[in-house]
Amino acid sequence: MTVSIGGMHIFRLDGYVVVPERPSFSLGSDTYESWSMLLPWTGAFSYEVDDVGGTRLSGEARFGDVVISPPGGTLRREMKEPTSFFFARFLTALRPPIGGSSLPDVDRLRANLSLLESHEDLDDDMVTAHVVNDVLIAVHGKRTHEDALVREATAFILENFASPDLSLGDLARMLGVSPSLLTRRFRDVRGVTPAHYLRRVRLRKARELLTGTDFTLQNIAEQCGYRSAFYLSRVFKKSTGQSPSGYRAETGSVRSLV
């Protein structure tokens, strides 16, 4: 089933299943071509989501949480206790937060999940599409909601990303919260962890310097918060699939990196 706004497809259901309580998952991990959503109804499970960019997000989910994996990402899960759950695959024009998120309205979630059991006069696909779309809108709205803690953390990262000693622990202490709380709130708003966001900022600066200056790779590394050209090269290639020298050549700015 497809949902459209202004002629643009924003959501399409690609498959779903409602699973009664059981002691374990049939598969411990899987990689899907579309987005996937895992909603615990009863019980609890641990999860790991590998983004296609190489980031691994992990945690534990129970009723009131949703775990989302992107196309091409790997979703691992293990039940901590017998669990019933709802699973769906879908395509969407939105960019929902990857990993685990808590839903802001558990009563609405409970009502939506109940629809999956008691909709005798309604089309199965229509009801399921409503449930998935409602969850997507909820987590998308929560992600974009202003969070003073996340604003402060973001500003600090942008001002201090060139420091090689910047760490999640230091950032959390500066803000007066635990690293786990900072990570959860940052991910809920921005869709990535603080560490992932810091790496994005550093690599964006590296790309700017590679294409806009004649600086050596060691100089660029130091301006981007990395202690050595070797480490910058390793992070850059892992994230972009090409070396800094290859990126510089491809963008038409072939310069010496020695």
Residue pLDDT, tens place only, 222-244: 999 999 999 999 999 988 888 99
Helix boundaries (H) for the chain: 106-115, 124-144, 148-160, 168-175, 179-190, 194-212, 217-223, 229-240, 244-250
CB contact set of 41 (below 8 Å; sequence gap of 6+): 63, 83, 84, 85, 86, 113
Token digits of residue 148: 């003073």
**What is the pLDDT averaged over residues 62-81?**
91
* Per-residue model confidence (pLDDT) at position 203: 93
Helix pair 179-190, 168-175: axis angle to 10 deg? 90
Label residue 9 by pLDDT band (50, 70, 90): very low
Element (H, E) at 17: strand 8-22
Q: Residue 122 gets which letter from DSSP?
A: S
Label residue 24 by pLDDT band (50, 70, 90): very high
* Per-residue model confidence (pLDDT) at position 103: 86
Which of 52-56, 198-202, 249-253 is predicted most confidently?
198-202
Mean pLDDT of the chain: 84
Q: Which of 73-77, 148-152, 160-164, 204-208 has the lowest mean pLDDT?
A: 148-152
* Per-residue model confidence (pLDDT) at position 53: 56
Instruction: Report the distance separating Cα 31 and Cα 239, nearest Å.
Output: 20
Q: Is the pLDDT of residue 161 over 90?
A: yes
Who wins on pLDDT, 121 or 146?
A: 121
* Per-residue model confidence (pLDDT) at position 256: 38
* Per-residue model confidence (pLDDT) at position 205: 93
What proportion of the chain, given as a percentage, has pLDDT over 70? Answer: 86
* Per-residue model confidence (pLDDT) at position 257: 37
Q: Is the pLDDT of residue 254 over 80?
A: no
Q: Is the pLDDT of residue 35 over 80?
A: yes
* pTM recorded for the entire structure: 0.55
Q: Residue 214 gets which letter from DSSP?
A: -
Length of the chain, in residues? 258
Q: Which of 3-7, 100-104, 245-249 has the lowest mean pLDDT?
A: 3-7
